[in-house]
Amino acid sequence: MHARDPELSAADPEIFALIEQEDARQRDSLRLIASENYVSKAVLAATGSSLTNKYAEGYPGKRYYEGMDFVDPIESLAVARARELFGADHANVQPYSGSPANLAALLALCQTGDTIMGLALPAGGHLTHGWKVSATGIYYKAVQYGVRRDDHRIDMDEVRSLALANRPKLIWVGHSAYPRQLDFAGFAAIAREVGAYLAADIAHIAGLVAGGAHPSPVPHADVITTTTHKTLRGPRGGLILSKAEHAAAIDKAVFPGLQGGPHCHTTAAKAVAFREALQPSFRDYAHQIVANARGLAEALLARGHALVSGGTDNHLLLLDLTPTGQGGRHVARVLNRCGIELNANAIPFDPRKPFDPSGLRIGLAAITSRGVQTHHMPAVADLIADAIALAIENADDARCEAHRGRVREFLRAFPAPGL
């Protein structure tokens, strides 16, 4: 925690102690949740600043309150840096998070009841791409595409035939659990053919796109939404980029369409994170994430594990537990007791229930931020595979505790940024 700790510890020892324990947990566990990362001390400092006290409904130069002397330049800097980072015509830095950003994109471009298309949740898509329990599946008529059964890749022929048959107003391309590159140009061609808007949701891969380790959707998509807290390594928040022609509609959809005052402290932290991502070292980071994911995939395959699609092109892998006969939930829980944090995840055509699916999602963004390199991947694979073996054996607490010690020992060489 940072400089104001003594005040927090005096004012609220209970919360202080819990945050301290969370710090220690983040330091001592192998964090493989694909949507998480470690932000820098600078990002944490901006997040914990006086800007949390400020209301700023509207946009720089057009606000509804006084006292904008400093929040206006902060938001303008955030916007300019986001545009530079992604090479986009327009940026809106106000979305509270990824889900509201997606809702704002829909509000800007569609009418309720319009047909939208997205990757189905069980195939690696996100709730907000039209899944039935999401507002996006309730207010819009959602058509969902999937992946092929044989190679687990998005089936562009299926996307095209569904688009031709359903004539969607908007097509989402993006994922939360898909280990392969996205064909933005292919999606754009289909969207053009059927007269749909193309919306790319790069929540998971924004850092890879910013760092040149994944193709960019910016030349292809009408609108690009993202979170700022996953591979992009900023504060929790959302960001929308768009072509100039959609700028006014996007801004109007975010405010006053969907949100009230922006979170100015988060805006400042986004600006800090964008500046960090503009440094050459961030390119190295993005490429290292992908190299680490490939290295880990190879090492896990060598240990006899199965991976959805046989490997990865991005920051994540989906380990298929089917050959082990185990459910994902049990294995994820045992791994957590062993000091390895990840989540159970559905795999394509999963025979098990969503609450206890057949896969484990493994992301490399957080441990790469700690400086773990490609040549460490066999050791990381051993930590994971040995813990899965403990789960299969239903190992007792003592053996899990011993494994947790091994994880802590491994991580000692890699200080956690920000903590």
Ligand X SMILES: *Cc1c(COP(=O)(O)O)cnc(C)c1O
Nearest C-alpha neighbor of 44 from the set 71, 76, 4: 4
CA atoms within 13 A on the CB side of 12: 7
Residues between 62 and 81 that touch ligand X (CB under 6 A): none
* Minimum separation from the CB atom of position 129 to ligand X (A): 7
For this structure, is 267 an active site residue? Answer: no
- Rounded CA Rg of the chain: 22
* 3-state SS class at 225: strand
b/e per residue 293-314 (b: at least 16 CB within 10 A): bbbbbbbbeeeebbbbbebbbb
Helices 184-194 and 156-166 cross at an angle (nearest 10°) of 20
Q: Which stretch binds ligand X (CB under 6 A): 161-169, 179-187, 196-204, 377-385?
A: 196-204
Ligand-binding annotation for 127, yes or no, is yes
Nearest C-alpha neighbor of 335 from the set 401, 391, 394, 397: 391
Which residue among 81, 204, 263, 305 contacts ligand X (CB under 6 A)? Answer: 204
Which residue in 227, 267, 312, 368 is the catalytic one? 227
Decide if residue 97 touches ligand X (CB under 6 A): yes
For this structure, is 38 an active site residue? Answer: no
157 and 191 Cβ atoms separated by less than 8 Å: no
Which residue in 20, 23, 27, 55 is the catalytic one? 55
For this structure, is 141 an active site residue? Answer: no
Which residue in 81, 169, 180, 230 is the catalytic one? 230
Residues between 220 and 279 that touch ligand X (CB under 6 A): 227
Sheet holding 115-119: strands in order across?
90-92, 238-242, 223-227, 197-201, 170-174, 115-119, 141-145
Closest CB to ligand X among 202 and 338? 202
For this structure, is 230 an active site residue? Answer: yes
Ligand-binding annotation for 126, yes or no, is yes
Dihedral angle, C-alpha 96, 101, 107, 112, nearest 10 °: -100
Which residue in 201, 251, 276, 320 is the catalytic one? 201
Q: Which stretch binds ligand X (CB under 6 A): 94-102, 108-116, 297-305, 326-334?
A: 94-102
Strand positions, DSSP E, 107-217: 115-119, 141-145, 170-174, 197-201
Which residue among 36, 155, 201, 313 contacts ligand X (CB under 6 A)? Answer: 201
171 and 196 Cβ atoms separated by less than 8 Å: yes
Decide if residue 203 touches ligand X (CB under 6 A): yes
* Minimum separation from the CB atom of position 47 to ligand X (A): 15
Which residue in 148, 236, 283, 408 is the catalytic one? 236
Interstrand relation of 223-227 and 197-201 (parallel, antiparallel or unpaired): parallel
Ligand-binding annotation for 330, yes or no, is no
Residues 82 and 375: their CA atoms lie apart, in Å, by 33
> Residue 118 corresponds to which tokens in the numbers above?
């997205």
Ligand-binding annotation for 319, yes or no, is no
Residues between 104 and 143 that touch ligand X (CB under 6 A): 126, 128
Closest CB to ligand X among 204 and 220? 204
Residues 380 and 296: their CA atoms lie apart, in Å, by 7
Collect all residues with Cβ–Cβ distance below 8 Å to 59 and sequence separation of at least 6: 75, 251, 255
Q: Which stretch binds ligand X (CB under 6 A): 82-90, 96-104, 358-366, 368-376?
A: 96-104
Closest CB to ligand X among 100 and 327? 100
For this structure, is 57 an active site residue? Answer: yes
Decide if residue 361 touches ligand X (CB under 6 A): no
* Minimum separation from the CB atom of position 175 to ligand X (A): 6
Residues 143 and 166: their CA atoms lie apart, in Å, by 8
Ligand-binding annotation for 315, yes or no, is no
Which residue among 32, 47, 51, 98 contacts ligand X (CB under 6 A)? Answer: 98
Closest CB to ligand X among 130 and 339? 130
147 and 178 Cβ atoms separated by less than 8 Å: yes
Decide if residue 328 touches ligand X (CB under 6 A): no
Residues between 132 and 191 that touch ligand X (CB under 6 A): 174-176
For this structure, is 236 an active site residue? Answer: yes
Nearest C-alpha neighbor of 389 from the set 292, 300, 317: 300
Decide if residue 40 touches ligand X (CB under 6 A): no
Give the residue numbers marked as catalytic.
55, 57, 201, 227, 230, 236
Residue ranges that bind ligand X, judged by CB under 6 A: 35, 97-99, 102, 126, 128, 174-176, 201, 203-204, 227
The binding site for (6S)-5,6,7,8-tetrahydrofolate consists of 121, 125-127, 245
